[in-house]
Amino acid sequence: MKKITAILLAAMMVMSLAACGGEHDNTESPQNGTEAPSNEENESQQSGGTNDRTPESSTAEPSQGPEGGKILVAYFSATNNTEGIAQKLAQGLSADIYEIVPEEPYTDEDLNYGSSGSRTSREQNDPGARPAISGSVEDMEQYDVVFIGYPIWWGEAPQIMSTFIESYDFSGKTLVTFCTSGSSGFGRSDEALRSAAGGATWLEGHRFSAGASADDVMGWANGLDLNSEGE
């Protein structure tokens, strides 16, 4: 009888030790720590930055001009940021695209906003400045809707955009502006352009960051009523 009791006690002790070991394993957790995020290259939004990425495709339905009329995306881009948005817009709308190229290209020194004597500073401080454009849009008459893109310079559209607007008759056309900036909002950046294009219908413009996706761009574009009588 004593042997049986001893065996039972020994068995109970073994089972108890196994249970304690299992409980310890279940409650042990790894040390808390922070996993380092992967290094992803961000698009530059600073002066001199470039956008080398291929425009993303958009699943949004392309917009149509009034009664199926043709659309043009015209843009000026000193550091390639506005160009990226223009390309996505033109691709999504199946529109023609035209780059506004200055006859005298802007150098890094010209784009030095910190210098009051730089070319851009002098142009933006002179309401009458009209930088010359190299080339022109072939047959502007064929377009019913024209999207006009530019970077924000000192809260306004660059003076070369006034040169562009004043070079054509936009009567009866629908005009839509879009711009890029690192921090400035759209504001009244197209006010001078609106004043120069009498007889045109203007729709509300939009500001994008340099890294805006194709879906962001087309989400805005497809929300526009291009058949509207506008303002």
Higher-confidence position of 108 and 36: 108
Task: Give the separation between CA 162 and CA 181, rounded to whole angstroms.
Answer: 19
Among 2-11, 65-74, 89-98, 180-189, the range scoring the smallest mean pLDDT is: 2-11
The arithmetic mean of pLDDT across residues 188-193, rounded, is 87
Say which CATH number the domain at 120 has. 3.40.50.360
Express each pLDDT in 73-105 by its tens digit: 999 999 999 999 999 999 999 999 999 999 999
Query: Residue 25: inside a domain, yes or no?
Result: no
The reported pLDDT for the residue numbered 31 is 28
Query: Residue 4: inside a domain, yes or no?
Result: no
217 pLDDT above the threshold of 90: yes
The arithmetic mean of pLDDT across residues 16-43, rounded, is 30
Range of the domain at 194: 66-221
Query: Residue 199: inside a domain, yes or no?
Result: yes
Number of structural domains the chain divides into: 1
2 pLDDT above the threshold of 70: no
Q: What is the 3-state secondary structure (H, E, C) of 102-165?
A: ECCCCCCCCCCCCCCCCHHHHHHCCCCCCCCEECCCCCHHHEEEEEEEEECECCECCHHHHHHH
Express each pLDDT in 4-24 by its tens digit: 445 445 545 444 433 333 333
Residue among 49, 218, 25, 47 at smallest CA distance from 120: 47
Task: Give the separation between CA 229 and CA 220, rounded to whole angstroms.
Answer: 18
Q: At what angle do helices 214-221 and 81-93 cross, to 10 degrees?
A: 60
Query: Residue 76: inside a domain, yes or no?
Result: yes
Express each pLDDT in 127-148 by its tens digit: 999 999 999 999 999 999 999 9
52 pLDDT above the threshold of 50: no
Higher-confidence position of 187 and 158: 158
Structure tokens at 136: 């022109």
228 pLDDT above the threshold of 70: no
pLDDT band at 57 (very low <50, low <70, confident <90, very high): very low
Query: Residue 89: inside a domain, yes or no?
Result: yes
* Positive/negative CA dihedral, 183, 189, 190, 193: negative
Task: Give the separation between CA 56 and CA 44, rounded to whole angstroms.
Answer: 17
3-state SS, residue 59 = coil
Query: Residue 187: inside a domain, yes or no?
Result: yes
What residues contact residue 69 under an 8 Å CB cut-off, 6+ apart? Answer: 143, 144, 145
Query: Residue 156: inside a domain, yes or no?
Result: yes
